[in-house]
Chain A
Amino acid sequence: MEKRSEASGVDPGLPDVAVEIIALNKWYGEFHVLRDIDLKVARGERIVICGPSGGGKSTLLRCINRLEDWQRGRIVVDGIELTDDPRHIVAVRRDVGMVFQHFNLFPHLTVLENCTLAPIWVRRMPKHDAEALAMRYLERVKIPEQAPKYPARLSGGQQQRVAIARALCMNPDIMLFDEPTSALDPEMVKEVLDTMVELASDGITMLVVSHEMGFARQVASRVILMDDGQIVEINEPKGFFEQPQHERTRLFLQQILR
């Protein structure tokens, strides 16, 4: 169960490259949504992907756990190549947690049941252990008292923290965040970002699609700008924000940092 102890970094058994994306191309019909993406994410890295909407950020993220398929190129996650083979897909999904813009909690289950569902049915963990694990993560996201409630009774920020706890209950090696704060009321953005900052300090590999530039500055190892289906610039946060290399990046930063 304790594949990765609470505060330590990396499982030595895993390859140093967490995610490798090679010459990835994807089309929606005629529309070329991902164009020749190459990206190597080292274990423990925290990548923040930003860029204008419609640029392919979410699509790229969703390819990493194969919620989207693609036409050309390869993706290797934790040393497992994602192919059409459902066993590979499930193996990757077990190790990759995902947090969605709209939380996507299961409304017919309590907060606790949301968190224990996958450990019980995918990891085959006894119910009692799964509940103990879930309570630990709910405490970590600071809402253990909400465990018996149904998601609809929680605020947006609380729901998103439950979604994070739910993903963590699978002890993932990699976490994907797809615009985790975009659907939240401004008052609730901070509580979710705080949770993510804390998570980042644990050394888990994170890929975050977000426009929270403060968060990117604070925790990102590298920041990526995507536009029009391509990676325009990859840089460390300091360089990215202070000396953007690409004209497109400068323009984007001007737009959102005004």
Chain B
Amino acid sequence: MTALTDAPPAYLRGAPAAKLPPPPDRAGILAWLRANLFSSPANVALTLICVVLIAWLVPPLVRFLLIEAVWSGDDREACLPSPNNPHPGACWAFIRVWLSYFVYGFYPIGQRWRVDVFFAALAFGIVWMLWLSAPRRDIGAVYFFVALPIASSMLLRGFPPIGLIDVSTTLWGGILVTIVVATVGMVASLPLGILLALGRRSSIPVVRILSVIFIEFVRGVPLITVLFMASVMLPLFVPERLAPDKLVRAYIGVALFASAYMAEVVRGGLAAMPRGQYEAAQALGLTYWRMMLLVILPQALRVTLPNIVNTFIGLFKDTSLVFVVGIFDFLRTIEVARGDPRWASPIVSITGYAFAILFYFICCYSMSRYARRVEARLARRAAIKGS
């Protein structure tokens, strides 16, 4: 002790140290290149490999898809080798001719404006829901989850009292079906998945066991099987004249399947919540549902957002399996069109698949980008909150 008190202070600050701004970042292209591409021998090697790969892949792809592509024509002749074009590329003429089939399926030509209206209404709803600072998102939610499904159902299926003639779902096809099945699956699986996740953590044994059985059973079975079951077994339980049509059975199958996965995703988020949050909510006298809706789920869903979107992306691509129960989704319409004798040729098939890849990629990549942006925004907010 004596040493501490008796020794003269070795150092005593006289004036306060100046508060300085941080030094500027090292800028410039060269600095960026060195930091990101050539920072270590392994990095240099990777960079070179990537350059070689790009040089090897990209030019032929561009040549095939754009430079040598055939943009117009009425049948396969246009896309075959000819003196003018000895190595024809992608046959976009095929896509142009069949585009309306890819979008609408066999939806009657005179009624297709109804599908366009549906697409517009859906896009409007999606933007309203996804744009986080949009006005009155509560009304948006009602529009999206209540008004839109009812109105679209009347619009697309037909509602004779207001002059919309019935259009059987067997005529629906293409992107229309893909979008409808995916949207129904997403809109239904989120709430169902939340309920199942809550059920799995419930203190009531019956609820818990039923939830576990449902989740594990559905997750343990391939989607194709679920679809077959929905289309074959459902009519066994429901009287013939009440039996829902094929498309509705597919919705149910997809929605049930997705909700089992969603349940596990949401459960992860719920498990990540500290116990103190539950206790604080209970101590304030909130009932179970209020606690969940006001305190737990808003936080848990935020944590899970990337995984929710991941499930949605999987679901979107899985919709291409509904063809097994005889529904003409987008991919199936391409399959049908490429087999048309007037067009059939290897290049036409490749073009059809390239178009499908483009469509699925654009849809899934935008979902993924959106999720990343929301995540970044939440992280930023958390940083502001925490700083």
Interface residues of A (CB under 8 A from B): 65, 67, 86, 90, 93-94, 96-98, 100, 102, 104-108, 117-118, 121-122, 150-153, 166-167, 170
The CA-CA distance from A151 to B284 in the complex, in Å, is: 17
Main secondary structure of the interface of B (DSSP, over half): helix
- For residue B87, CB closer than 8 A to chain A, the reply is no
The CA-CA distance from A100 to B275 in the complex, in Å, is: 12
Which B71-103 residues have a C-beta within 8 angstroms of A? none
Residues of B contacting A90 with CB < 8 Å? 285, 287
Which B275-322 residues have a C-beta within 8 angstroms of A? 276-277, 279-287, 290, 294-295, 298-299, 302
Q: How many A-B residue pairs have CB under 8 A?
A: 66
- For residue B26, CB closer than 8 A to chain A, the reply is no
Residues of A contacting B384 with CB < 8 Å? 153
The CA-CA distance from A1 to B339 in the complex, in Å, is: 75
Residues of B contacting A67 with CB < 8 Å? 279, 282-283
- For residue B382, CB closer than 8 A to chain A, the reply is yes
Asked if residues A153 and B285 are in contact (CB atoms below 8 Å), the reply is no
Residues of A contacting B386 with CB < 8 Å? 152-153
Contact indicator per residue, chain B 265-277, by CB within 8 Å of chain A (1) or not (0): 0000000001011
The CA-CA distance from A121 to B382 in the complex, in Å, is: 26
Residues of A contacting B281 with CB < 8 Å? 106
Asked if residues A122 and B280 are in contact (CB atoms below 8 Å), the reply is no
The CA-CA distance from A209 to B117 in the complex, in Å, is: 64
Interface size class on chain B is 20 to 34
Given known contacts A93-B282, A94-B285, A105-B280, A117 and B385 CB-to-CB distance under 8 angstroms: no
Which A residue sits closest to B280, measured CB to CB?
Answer: A104
Residues of A contacting B385 with CB < 8 Å? 107, 150-153
Which B residue sits closest to A95, measured CB to CB?
Answer: B285
A67-B282, A151-B385 given; name 14 further pairs at CB < 8 Å. A65-B282, A93-B285, A96-B283, A100-B280, A104-B277, A104-B280, A106-B295, A107-B385, A121-B286, A121-B294, A122-B285, A152-B382, A153-B386, A166-B284
Which B residue sits closest to A120, measured CB to CB?
Answer: B294
Given known contacts A100-B276, A104-B276, A118 and B295 CB-to-CB distance under 8 angstroms: no
The CA-CA distance from A65 to B385 in the complex, in Å, is: 31
Residues of B contacting A121 with CB < 8 Å? 286, 290, 294
24 contacts between A and B (CB under 8 A): A65-B283, A67-B279, A67-B283, A93-B282, A93-B285, A98-B280, A102-B276, A104-B274, A104-B277, A104-B279, A106-B280, A106-B295, A106-B299, A108-B299, A117-B286, A117-B295, A118-B286, A121-B286, A122-B284, A122-B285, A151-B385, A152-B382, A152-B386, A170-B285
- For residue B387, CB closer than 8 A to chain A, the reply is yes
The CA-CA distance from A166 to B285 in the complex, in Å, is: 12
Q: What distance in Å separates the Cβ of A196 from its nearest Cβ neighbour in chain B?
A: 17
Residues of B contacting A86 with CB < 8 Å? 287
Residues of B contacting A100 with CB < 8 Å? 276, 279-280, 283
Asked if residues A153 and B387 are in contact (CB atoms below 8 Å), the reply is yes
Asked if residues B277 and A106 are in contact (CB atoms below 8 Å), the reply is yes
Residues of A contacting B283 with CB < 8 Å? 65, 67, 93, 96-98, 100, 167
Asked if residues A108 and B298 are in contact (CB atoms below 8 Å), the reply is yes
Which B residue sits closest to A106, measured CB to CB?
Answer: B295
Residues of B contacting A93 with CB < 8 Å? 282-285
Q: What distance in Å separates the Cβ of B242 from its nearest Cβ neighbour in chain A?
A: 38
Residues of A contacting B387 with CB < 8 Å? 153
Residues of A contacting B277 with CB < 8 Å? 104, 106
The CA-CA distance from A129 to B287 in the complex, in Å, is: 22
The answer, among B279, B284, B298, B302, for a CB contact under 8 Å with A118, is: B284
Residues of B contacting A122 with CB < 8 Å? 284-286, 290
The CA-CA distance from A121 to B281 in the complex, in Å, is: 11
Which B residue sits closest to A154, measured CB to CB?
Answer: B385
Which A residue sits closest to B291, measured CB to CB?
Answer: A121
Which B236-284 residues have a C-beta within 8 angstroms of A? 274, 276-277, 279-284
Task: Report which residue of B279, B290, B386 has the largest number of chain A beta carbons within 10 angstroms of its beta carbon.
Answer: B279
Residues of A contacting B299 with CB < 8 Å? 106-108
Residues of B contacting A105 with CB < 8 Å? 280
Residues of B contacting A102 with CB < 8 Å? 276
Residues of A contacting B286 with CB < 8 Å? 117-118, 121-122
The CA-CA distance from A183 to B351 in the complex, in Å, is: 65
The CA-CA distance from A65 to B279 in the complex, in Å, is: 10
Residues of B contacting A167 with CB < 8 Å? 283-284
Q: What distance in Å separates the Cβ of B66 from its nearest Cβ neighbour in chain A?
A: 48
Q: What distance in Å separates the Cβ of B204 from its nearest Cβ neighbour in chain A?
A: 12
Which B147-205 residues have a C-beta within 8 angstroms of A? none
The CA-CA distance from A112 to B277 in the complex, in Å, is: 17
Q: What distance in Å separates the Cβ of A107 from its nearest Cβ neighbour in chain B?
A: 7
Residues of B contacting A94 with CB < 8 Å? 285
The answer, among A97, A117, A152, A166, for a CB contact under 8 Å with B294, is: A117
